[in-house]
Chain A
Amino acid sequence: MIEVNDLSKRYGEKLAVDSLSFAVRPGVVTGFLGPNGAGKSTTMRVIMGLDRPTSGQVRVNGRSYARLKAPLQEIGALLEAKAIHPGRSAYHHLLSLAASNGIDKGRVLDVIDMVGLSEVARKRAGGFSLGMGQRLGIASALLGDPRIVMLDEPVNGLDPEGVLWIRNLLKSLAGQGRTVFVSSHLMSEMALIAEDLIVIGRGRLLSAGPIAEFIAQASTRSVRVRSPQAASLGGVLVGEGVTVTNTEPGVLEVTGLDPAEIGERAAAAGLVLHELSPQEASLEEAFMELTRDAVEYHATAGALATAGRTN
């Protein structure tokens, strides 16, 4: 359980996090979404006790981070990939971190195996790719078998196989009842792994809750249908609660029906389909719309403040 209460963090002139409140519950994957520079990493650094909040507070399993007696057992975090001395091996890097919390060597070897770094663990980490660095960071997050796993942009630099692996890993960690908190600037990635979603922009909370709600409140889902008999198809599909728009010749944008229903109706009417694709992009667009508003609001406020000073 992570609780963030009215958190603000200012770096000089810049207010990186602005009165942010949310809670991350155990047992599900919670996505932490926002454009670059929205304050996601700052928030995570404050949660880890690395940066001191300007105001507000953060609780990790009910305590402030500095008061955790066995921190690696409470929360494991990946904050940046390749945060390792280039001259040190992954094995010694993890062994040193483990030692500080009394975690034994066996566990170090286990997590190295778990992230698939066994073959390179004894080599100097300077030659690691970004993807290997991410795997190492995940290994260090899992060292203490923690109740909370918090990862900042974990899929960055991973190959497709690695991305799939991380999705399954996060889901299985949540399935074991752990709190899993993962940041990303990619809505599409979050849509695949997260059950809960926290969206921020310019340091402010924009949306928090189950991802299903976010999707529902976001723009309506549509299905793109391409057919040489588009006009006839439109007539078959249109009806109560269904809208059909003809966006370009031979292409229909259908809302209110799922792809299966469209396909069945087309088949029943003996119409040919060339494409039948659910438009997930609407989710991405909803996210961009949400964050764009925040960006604009703050840009205006900033311009006013500047104007005020010069007068």
Chain B
Amino acid sequence: MTTTPAVTGPSRDLRVTLPRVLRMEWIKFWSLRSTIYTLAITALLTIGVGSLVSGVIGTGDGGPGQDDFSDPASMSLGGVMLAALATAALGVLTSTSEYASGMIRATLAAVPARLPVLWAKVIVFAAVSFVLMLATSLVAFLAGQAILSSRGFTSVTLADPGVFRAVVGAAVYLTGAGLIGLAVGALLRNTAGAVTTVVGALFVLPVLIQLLPASWDDSIFPYLPSNAAGSFMAVEAASPSLSAWPGLAVFTGYIAVLLAGAAVLLKRRDA
């Protein structure tokens, strides 16, 4: 233990740049065990539930109806909606854990412009999540189709129309749910509040909305974030859903608006 810090020359370039802030967020992201656990749980849920659905579909009392098999791809991606809970929670924690511990003050002192911190979190989270979730969705799809075909049911390949888009769409949804979590976490700065809000918006609202009169339900339902995402994860759009590209536009619109709000407040509020 020495008491005198080494004095270094003033010529060293210690400016804050976006690549450097990206590196900061990359180190933060990977230096928590909870990140790795959550990503592992997401992959297990996506692949496990997809395989389970593919393995048990049609074994019930009534036998498989024709409708059940119109979209074999969606069966193998049956775990995605559940797995999105995990990525959404990870996204929330990416923002809120800094406020819970007080580290945000050290972070913002190191990056006085503030906004690069938010963008770096978004970029690191989106890149890592998209790559891993794309691999996960592919594995879930291939495993599910193999199970379906081994049981003598109809299966599809990535070359069939709309199938590749649905598999990529699953990775987009898993990543997007996390970004929604990240943005809501940055807005609310509180883990419990943000998790509740995101779970409510992505998972509870679509159920509650179905209790509304049909005319209301039909005009709101397709525009909810998870239903908009459902449209680009389905090989064929089912009424009253949006078709794939408008669905993607609505879903990314939610993310953009939430992140813009988070950016404005990050810049304005006291840390």
Question: What is the interface of chain A, defined by CB distance below 8 A to chain B?
Answer: 45, 48-52, 65-73, 77, 79-80, 82-89, 92-93, 95-97, 99-103, 107, 110-111, 113-116, 140, 142, 144-145, 165, 168-169, 172-173, 176
Contact = CB atoms under 8 A, between A and B. Distances in A.
Contacts of B13: 70, 102
B108 A83 contact: no
B31 interface: yes
A86 B101 contact: yes
B28 interface: yes
A102 B8 CA distance: 14
B40 interface: no
A93 to B, nearest CB: 7
B3 A169 contact: yes
A51 B4 contact: no
Interface of B: 1-8, 12-17, 20-21, 23-25, 27-28, 31-34, 97-98, 101-103, 105-113, 268, 270-271
Contacts of A169: 3
B97 A67 contact: no
Nearest to A106: B6
A80 B102 contact: yes
A70 B28 CA distance: 20
A84 B14 contact: no
B1 A115 contact: yes
B24 A111 contact: no
B26 to A, nearest CB: 8
B50 to A, nearest CB: 30
Which among B5, B16, B24, B97 has the greatest number of chain A C-beta atoms within 10 A? B5
A129 to B, nearest CB: 16
Contact of B103 (A45, A50, A83, A102): A83
Contacts of A96: 24-25, 27-28, 31
A59 B5 CA distance: 25
A49 B267 CA distance: 11
A176 B4 CA distance: 9
B1 A113 contact: yes
B66 to A, nearest CB: 50
Contact of A145 (B5, B15, B31, B34): B5
A80 B105 contact: yes
